Structures are given as structure tokens and as C-alpha cells.
Amino acid sequence: MAESGPERRALRRLPDALISQIAAGEVVERPSSVVKELVENALDAGAVRIEIELENGGRDLISVADDGSGIAAGDTALALERHATSKIASFEDLLEVATLGFRGEALASIAAVSRCELLTARSAGDGHRLVVEGGRLAVDEPVSRPRGTTVTVESLFYNVPARKQFLKRPATELRHALTVVQGYALARPDVTFVLRHAPDAESAGRELLRVQATGVDAAGRLNRIAQLFGEDLVNHLTPLPEARREQGISGFVGDRETTRGRRLFLFVNGRLLRDRAVLAIYYKAVRDLMKGDRPPALFLFLDVPPESVDVNVHPQKAEVRFRDAALMGRIGSALRRGLEAAKGEEPAPLREPSGPAAPPAWTGVGEVREAPAAPAWAEELAARYGGAGTGPTGKLAEVAYRPEPATRVPLSGKGRESLRLIGQYKGTMILLEGPEALFVVDQHVAHERILYERFRRSLKRQDAASQTLLVPRMLELSAAENAALAECSSGLARCGYAVRALSGGSAAITAIPAVLPDKEAESLVLRIATRVAAGDELPSEDEALADYLLTQLAASRACRAAVKMHQALSAEKMESLIAELFACEHPYTCPHGRPVVLELTDRDLERRFKRR
């Protein structure tokens, strides 16, 4: 092919600086990753006090000062080079990483994309000061400093505009940094952490987090949790069984009162992780034991031999791989026992799962529903008739079929003329005959959907009325949650909330949406704060956040106003309910995501009557 395009570029060796910058991108993503690397270095240096200062969410300045061992005079320049680390020397060492940071990338990576100053001393007075700009050493001089290291990172990404562009608002960056520090504060109750933040270089900094060193035993950990999240949370925590401590599994689970935020923290050898496999075990245990989807608080500390986990799977070390599969089983059983103790009940014996039974799945139109448990009547009958001969599992009416994958039946499209009202079942469900299926409508959720859309329309038409509070409600939040709240403040204001940040990093609600009772208004704010702080991607734009909040308001109002179960409805009322339902934008799911309409097709019925 002829060379018609732009000039072909010759292959070139990349300049070192660029290589460093590219590599830096893997480790240094945003200010919080700098904080993370520096705090890890400080902890590895044996610090017992770490002070963090941020400006403008860390975009302008990040400084981490520790009282650890410092870096020796000859090693200081080296510390800022890539892969310079005192922590590993060989491939064998890599297999047994016992310290937090290990790849020797941190300081060099940070130095490549910022103006970085390093002040370090192995003993008082014997200090060194290095300044590196964009990866090049600019200053190297002796200086006086007490034992420890201070790394100051200014103008992060000043030389990488593409990266800088992706930084979020200062409030968001600050919240990420607080989340990181909170994580290490939980992991290391024996270390004092202080975090201060100033909006810019001129303003005075505000202390957002301060936790004093305590012990690393269970009491110390609880003390630290109380310092971060408030005493109230600690009163609702139960320790995991003592027996598991020897296997390196310890921690605390909360009771039902603690489900409001997703306060789920997993530490592996002192490193905060979001390991999906462990969380999945926890979610399953919660579903089985608490019969709910909202998980109670979890603080799980795993201390396992370094060689049994592979931390080198994620550049930010946010995930690990466990080489010991049995560990998962032990974690699962510890969590179950913990949850049972938190519920205040005796643990039930663990049962083997009874084979790969096909779930008797009814299909909600447009929404696949999880297989329901055996209905109560089936168990009752089974109990009454001894259960013998009623099927392999002793349950009556074992469903041995699996319907075809759900095809969405456009009820509204076909027009409800094609549906005939059969009647009401137990004052709870409305039964409809369709051309090719029987439809079951849950009247409560149907009405909820109708009201929800109505409320939502009226809320959007008119700004939410706000009720000022005579006495502000103080919120017991962690520093990261407070930062999350500050981030959402203008969206909250649009919904009728007024939240004021107070000194010492706490917050107070001074006005609430008038449509909500006080308690509910408060718990909605808490839920948003904890979810944002836990890293849930809530809409960050004010407009979208306000929309999300309005949705929540409308949903909670709709649920209360809707017709309840066991309420007999006349044929006229049922017809009008169905007509209104199918006039809705989304008639198939309730505002909480549950199905409104279930479909039992002729095909399904015929199969059950063994005609097919």
C-alpha cells in the first residue's frame, strides 16, 4: 500500500522521563494514591505517629510526616529512583512480602509527576533534604530534622496534563484520601494518625481526623473503631469467635442496627482491601442468616502467612489472591458464627447444600426474580403428612421444571383490553387473564409504583419544601463520611437539606425535606454519606444527585401511602389500579426494584399439569 497517510513514525526509544511517567500512572492515579503510598512507607519505617496535610483536596499539596526510621544519607537519592527499595532484593523476597509497600516504585513514581521534597533523618540532626522536580534531582543538602521522614508532594501531575484533567473536585479527592487514611487507621490502632486539610495555601488548615494510638488487641481495635465511627457503632459490634484468632481470622460484625452504611472493611496483613471473594462470602452469610440484603458492619482482619497470599495482582494492591482455598471456608464459618452471635442466637449446624436443584423460578415480567424458598404451605403440608413419599426432598409439590428464559410481555403495548380481571387473591394479589398467560399483580407494589411516579413528578415540578430544625441534629460520622457529605452538599440542598460542617470534622443537619419524618430524613443522609464514602458510585453531579435523592424521597413516601396487603378491593378499584399501573413509565418493577407483575405462561401451566 502506498504511503498516503501522515508520515510514518519511526520506532524510537522512549525517553526515561516518559517511561517513569507512564509507570507512575499505574501507581499514582490521584492524590489519595500518593497518600496511600506515603503512609505505607511510613508504616514500614516503623512510625508510631503519622501526620498528613493536604491542600485543595491534595491537588496542590500532600505532605506526610512520620517518626519512623528515616532513610540513610547515602540512600536518599536512590530512594527517588524507580525500583529502589530496601524491602526486597530478590525474586524470592517478592514471594514473601511482609511489608506494605514493596515494589520500590512509590517514591520514584510520585517524584516523576510532581514537585517532591524529601526530608529525612535516621537520628535527630542527621538529616537530608532532597527536592525532585519532574523526576530530576534539583536540591540535595544536609538539614536538621528529628528522626523520621517528611515527604511533601506539590502540584501533582503538573507535568502530566492528561492525568490532571481526570482529577475530580477537591471535595471528592479529599474524601478518597480520608478513606485511605481511615483504612490504615483501622489496620494500625497502635499508630497515631492526624489529617489536616486546607482549601488553599493561604487558608488555615482544619483537622479532619485525629486518632490516638491504642493497643493492637481487640480492645484497642474497638477503641480505634470508636474514635473513627463513634461509640454508638461499637455498642452494636460482636467479636468474631476467639477460636479463629489462632487461624489468623479476627474482627467484628455488627447487628441489624449497623446496616445503614456499607461499613465493610477487610484487612489482609494490615492492608485494606476490597476483595470480592471474601465480600461475596459475607453477603451470602448475611442473606442466609439475616434474611436481608443490607449487610451489617464488618471489620475483618486476616493475618495469614505472607506466602499464602499473592498481593502482586493489582498495581494499587487493592486486591489479593489467596493461595489457600480452605481459608475461604474458615472465613465463611467465622463470619457465620459472628453474625449469629450478633443476632443473639445459637449457631445452627452447617448443612451440606442438597445438590444442584433447579430453582422453581417464576419470572417477573421484565425482571428475573430469585428463586423463592419453599412456600410456607408446602412445608406445613409436608410436616402434617409426614413428608414421606412426597418427593426426594420431602417437600410437597417439588417443582421439577425450569421455564423458558423470560420474554418480556409488553402489557402496556398490547393494551390492557386484552387482559381480563379474574379477581383478587387473599386481598393481596390481583389476578389477570392474558391471551397466553396468567398475570399476578402485587397490589401493594403496584400502587407503590403508581404513587412513586406521581410523587416524583410533583417533586420535580416544585422544589422540595424544607423544614428548618430548631436544634440542629448532630451526625456521628467518620471523617471520610463527612467529606462525602460535604461533596454532596449542593445536591442535598436542592432536596431541602441543609448540612453544616462543624469544626473537628463533624456535621450537623439544620434543615430537612419537609415531606420526611425527622428520623427518616436523618437516616437518608447517613445512608448517602456512608455509601459515597464506601466508594459507591453515586451520581456526583448536583443535578443527578438531586435526582437520586428525589427518587429516594418519592420511593419512601410511596411505600407508606400505598394500599397495604390484605385489603380487599372492589372490581372497579382493581381495574383502575391496573389501568394506572400500565400508564406508568415503568410498570414492571417497584421503586425498590422488586417485581410488580409475575407471569405464569400457558406453557408453564401445561408443563406443571404434565401436558407437555
Partner 1 sequence: MKTRVERRELLTELVAMRGIVESRSTIPVLSHLLLTVRDDRLELAATDLDVSLTSWCGAEEGSCENGATAVQARKFLEIVRALGDSPIDLSTGDSNSLHIDAGSSRFRINGLSAEDFPTLATVDQDSSSSSFEAPFPDFKRMIGKIIFAVSAEESRFQLNGALLKLKDGKVEMVATDGHRLALIEAEMSGVAEADGVLAPRKALLELMRFDGDETIRFRRGEHHLGFVIGRRELTCRILEGTFPDYEKVISTDNDRKATFDRGALSEVVHRVSLLTGDRAPMVRFGFEEKSLRVSSSNPDLGEAEESLACDYEAEKLDIGLNPVYVRDFLSAVDTEQVEFALKDENSQCLGEPVGGQDFRYLCLIAPMRI
Least gap, CB of 562 to partner 1 (angstroms):
14
Distances (CA, A) of 604 to 60, 269, 399, 403: 64, 52, 11, 6
Nearer Cβ to partner 1, position 232 or 602?
Answer: 232
- Cα 559-539-55 angle, rounded to 5 deg: 135
What distance in Å separates the CA atoms of residue 484 and residue 486, rounded to the nearest whole number? 5
Pick one of 462, 537, 570, 611: the residue that binds partner 1 (CB under 8 A): 462
463 binds partner 1 (CB under 8 A): yes
| Closest by CA position to 196, among listed 221, 213, 177 | 177
Nearer Cβ to partner 1, position 414 or 460?
Answer: 460
Q: Restricting to residues 23-42, which ones interact with partner 1 according to CB under 8 A?
A: none
What distance in Å separates the CA atoms of residue 494 and residue 466, rounded to the nearest whole number? 9
376 binds partner 1 (CB under 8 A): no
What distance in Å separates the CA atoms of residue 527 and residue 477, rounded to the nearest whole number? 11
The terminus-to-terminus CA distance of the chain in angstroms comes to 62
Pick one of 465, 502, 571, 605: the residue that binds partner 1 (CB under 8 A): 465
Nearer Cβ to partner 1, position 13 or 519?
Answer: 519
- Total number of residues that touch partner 1 (CB under 8 A): 22
466 binds partner 1 (CB under 8 A): yes
Count of C-beta atoms within a 10 Å radius of residue 88: 18
Nearer Cβ to partner 1, position 144 or 458?
Answer: 458
Interacting span for partner 1 (CB under 8 A) from 153-161, 314-322, 417-425, 466-474: 466-474
231 binds partner 1 (CB under 8 A): no
Nearer Cβ to partner 1, position 156 or 554?
Answer: 554
What distance in Å separates the CA atoms of residue 331 and residue 300, rounded to the nearest whole number? 9
Identify the burial level of 389 via C-beta atoms within 10 angstroms of its C-beta, where 0-12 means exposed, 13-18 middle and 19 or more buried: exposed
User: What does the longest C-alpha to C-alpha distance in the chain come to?
Assistant: 91
Nearer Cβ to partner 1, position 151 or 451?
Answer: 451
| Closest by CA position to 392, among listed 358, 431, 434 | 358
Q: Restricting to residues 549-578, which ones interact with partner 1 according to CB under 8 A?
A: 557
Least gap, CB of 256 to partner 1 (angstroms):
15
Residue type, 233: L
Return the C-alpha cell found at 361. Answer: 423460578
Count of C-beta atoms within a 10 Å radius of residue 31: 29
325 binds partner 1 (CB under 8 A): no
Q: Restricting to residues 490-519, which ones interact with partner 1 according to CB under 8 A?
A: 496, 511, 513-515, 517-519
473 binds partner 1 (CB under 8 A): yes
Least gap, CB of 500 to partner 1 (angstroms):
13
Show the beta-strand stretches assigned E in 206-248: 206-211, 237-239
Pick one of 203, 418, 468, 576: the residue that binds partner 1 (CB under 8 A): 468
Least gap, CB of 457 to partner 1 (angstroms):
9
Interacting span for partner 1 (CB under 8 A) from 265-273, 282-290, 460-468, 542-550: 460-468
C-beta separation of 447 from 596 below 8 A: no
Pick one of 344, 471, 503, 610: the residue that binds partner 1 (CB under 8 A): 471
Least gap, CB of 523 to partner 1 (angstroms):
9
232 binds partner 1 (CB under 8 A): no
C-beta separation of 72 from 122 below 8 A: yes
Number of H helices, E strands in the chain: 20, 24
Residues found near partner 1 in the complex (CB under 8 A): 458, 461-471, 473, 496, 511, 513-515, 517-519, 557
